[in-house]
């Protein structure tokens, strides 16, 4: 059984045209979205406000409660959850938005029921762009409002803005009225939020209620894809009407205090996250250093590699400067190096080779595999310091081969010691 009204489903084509044409980014507002009885049941079973569900991103109890465990609320919410997984619903949203292969999130990360009390607001922001568990791309927000009465003078209207960083607040203001749905794309410019709620004395028991889902895809157009990030907020600045000579009453002071507290909270959140990132980076750098220290050349023969080579990667590629230190365990008379120079280098390669102050030059044609034999007598237990400098390098990312940003000079196929029998 459909939960979205049949008339709305039938209007998918016209809704799609409105969605594509909307500014400042693609969105659509749909009134009378759900079947009336279904929407009434969802409102009737709306969960009560609890502090444990009202922790903000700084870990503090705030004026917004979020219930993501939708299926535990009531039968009405379980029925809604079942419908949101159907092809009818997902294909309908795909038809409106032009985004195919949409995926439902059974965990409702960040979604579910949202309740905002008097005094609560939501700074302009763009949402996190990857699902933290599946790593799917977040593509759409769909919000259904559940407020039988709401007045614009109370604040709390959804505001879509072009660029709050640069003060461009152009965009629609959407009242959170009962059974009104808003669908908008989740991108790096889909700025949205709502102003602080200020309820009149006789309406202090009212709260702003809504139900939200976020839809995902496994892939996303490269031009729309950004590095993974958390939700990014733009704190409110100084009120435009706060000028010299204005008298601050209690309400204005409370408003300013709230702005500064939110800004300080966001700064502390970013600071704590920066510390977490720094600890993670330090751990990764330590693991990477251990991995590099364990790297060895593909060397055949009786020899010990005293330390990890410099300028060599485990996939065999070598950079402009290469060096290593080896110790033969048997008397030897030469070193044989098999290598390849790629066509992407754009010209022939010249290698300047040095072992314990003895020097050689080896030339390799572009795109050719070559063998370099270095004659050198060395006794067992002696130390050989080998360095090779290449005249040319290329960066795969610069020639459109991959995202590999390394400077590469040649590829080591094999190396071996030739011993005296």
d(CA 371, CA 13): 66
Check which CATH number belongs to the domain holding 129 and give it: 2.60.120.620
Residue showing tokens 């237990």: 381
Which residue, 219, 234, 249, sits at the end of a domain? Answer: 234
Q: How much is the pTM?
A: 0.74
- Pairing mode, strands 299-300 and 410-419: parallel
Backbone φ and ψ of 332, nearest 5°: -130, 160
* Together in a domain, 208 and 357: no
* Together in a domain, 62 and 153: yes
> Which residues on adjacent β-strands are paired with residue 317?
411
Residue 169 resides in a domain:
yes
The tokens describing 65, both together, are 């409660």
User: pLDDT below 50 — which residues of the chain?
Assistant: none
* Together in a domain, 198 and 325: no
d(CA 368, CA 341): 6
- Report yes or no: 334 and 421 within 8 Å, Cβ to Cβ: no
Look at the chain and report how many structural domains it folds into.
2
Query: E strand or H helix at 326, and its extent?
Result: strand 317-328
Contacts of 9 (CB under 8 A, 6+ apart): 2, 88, 92
Residue 317 resides in a domain:
yes
Give the burial class of 318: count Cβ atoms within 10 A of its Cβ; 0-12 exposed, 13-18 middle, 19 or more buried: buried
Which residue, 195, 215, 234, sits at the end of a domain? Answer: 234
* Together in a domain, 222 and 357: no
**pLDDT of amino acid 327:** 95
Contacts of 128 (CB under 8 A, 6+ apart): 110, 138, 228, 229, 230, 231
Write the pLDDT tens digit of every residue in 181-237: 999 999 999 999 999 999 999 999 999 999 999 999 999 999 999 999 999 999 888
d(CA 130, CA 114): 21
CA dist 164 to 232, 264, 404, Å? Answer: 12, 19, 35
- Name the CA radius of gyration of the chain, rounded: 32
d(CA 15, CA 20): 9
- What is the domain range of residue 372? 299-419
* Together in a domain, 228 and 321: no
The tokens describing 164, both together, are 């709050």
Distance of alpha carbon 354 from the chain centroid:
46
Residue 282 resides in a domain:
no
**pLDDT of amino acid 58:** 65
Check which CATH number belongs to the domain holding 395 and give it: 2.60.120
Write the pLDDT tens digit of every residue in 143-161: 999 999 999 999 999 999 9
Which residue, 200, 234, 268, sits at the end of a domain? Answer: 234
* Together in a domain, 197 and 337: no
Percent of residues, the chain, with pLDDT higher than 90:
82
Residue 264 resides in a domain:
no
The tokens describing 416, both together, are 């071996």
3-state secondary structure (DSSP) of residue 416: strand
Percent helix, strand and coil across the chain, each rounded to 5?
A: 25, 30, 40
* Together in a domain, 213 and 91: yes
> Which phi-psi region, left, alpha or beta, contains residue 329 (left: φ > 0; alpha: ψ -120 to 50)?
alpha
């Amino acid at each position: 059984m459909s939960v979205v009204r049949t008339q709305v489903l039938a209007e998918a084509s016209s809704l799609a045209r409105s969605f594509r044409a909307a500014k400042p980014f693609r969105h659509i507002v749909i009134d009378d979205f759900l079947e009336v009885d279904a929407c009434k049941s969802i409102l009737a079973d709306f969960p009560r406000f609890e502090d444990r569900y009202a922790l903000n991103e700084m870990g503090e109890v705030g004026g917004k409660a979020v219930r993501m465990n939708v299926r535990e609320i009531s039968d009405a919410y379980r029925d809604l959850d079942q419908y949101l997984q159907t092809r009818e619903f997902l294909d309908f949203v795909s038809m409106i938005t032009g985004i195919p292969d949409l995926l439902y999130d059974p965990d409702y990360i960040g979604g579910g029921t949202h309740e905002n009390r008097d005094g609560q607001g939501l700074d302009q922001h763009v949402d996190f762009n990857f699902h933290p568990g599946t790593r799917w791309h977040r593509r759409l927000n769909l919000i259904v409002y559940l407020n039988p009465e709401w007045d614009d003078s109370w604040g709390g209207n959804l505001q879509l803005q072009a660029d709050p960083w640069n003060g461009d607040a152009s965009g629609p203001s959407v009242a959170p009225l009962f059974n009104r749905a808003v669908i908008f794309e989740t991108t790096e410019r889909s700025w949205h939020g709502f102003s602080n709620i200020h309820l009149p004395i006789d309406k202090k028991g009212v709260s702003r209620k809504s139900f939200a889902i976020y839809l995902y895809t496994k892939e996303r157009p490269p031009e729309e894809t950004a590095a993974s990030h958390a939700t990014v907020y733009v704190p409110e600045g100084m009120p435009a009407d706060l000028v010299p000579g204005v008298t601050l009453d209690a309400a204005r002071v409370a408003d300013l205090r709230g702005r500064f507290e939110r800004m300080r909270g966001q700064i502390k959140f970013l600071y704590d996250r920066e510390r977490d990132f720094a600890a993670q980076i330090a751990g990764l750098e330590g693991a990477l250093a251990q991995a590099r220290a364990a790297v060895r050349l593909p060397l055949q023969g009786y020899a010990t590699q005293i330390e990890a080579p410099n300028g060599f990667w485990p996939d065999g590629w070598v950079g402009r400067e290469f060096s290593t230190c080896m110790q033969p365990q048997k008397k030897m008379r030469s070193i044989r190096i098999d290598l390849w120079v790629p066509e992407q280098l754009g010209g022939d390669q010249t290698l300047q080779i040095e072992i314990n102050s003895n020097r050689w030059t080896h030339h390799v044609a572009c795109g050719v595999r070559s063998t370099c034999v270095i004659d050198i007598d060395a006794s067992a237990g002696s130390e050989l310091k080998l360095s090779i400098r290449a005249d040319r390098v290329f960066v795969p990312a610069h020639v459109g081969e991959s995202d590999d940003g390394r400077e590469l000079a040649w590829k080591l196929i094999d190396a071996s010691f030739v011993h005296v029998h």
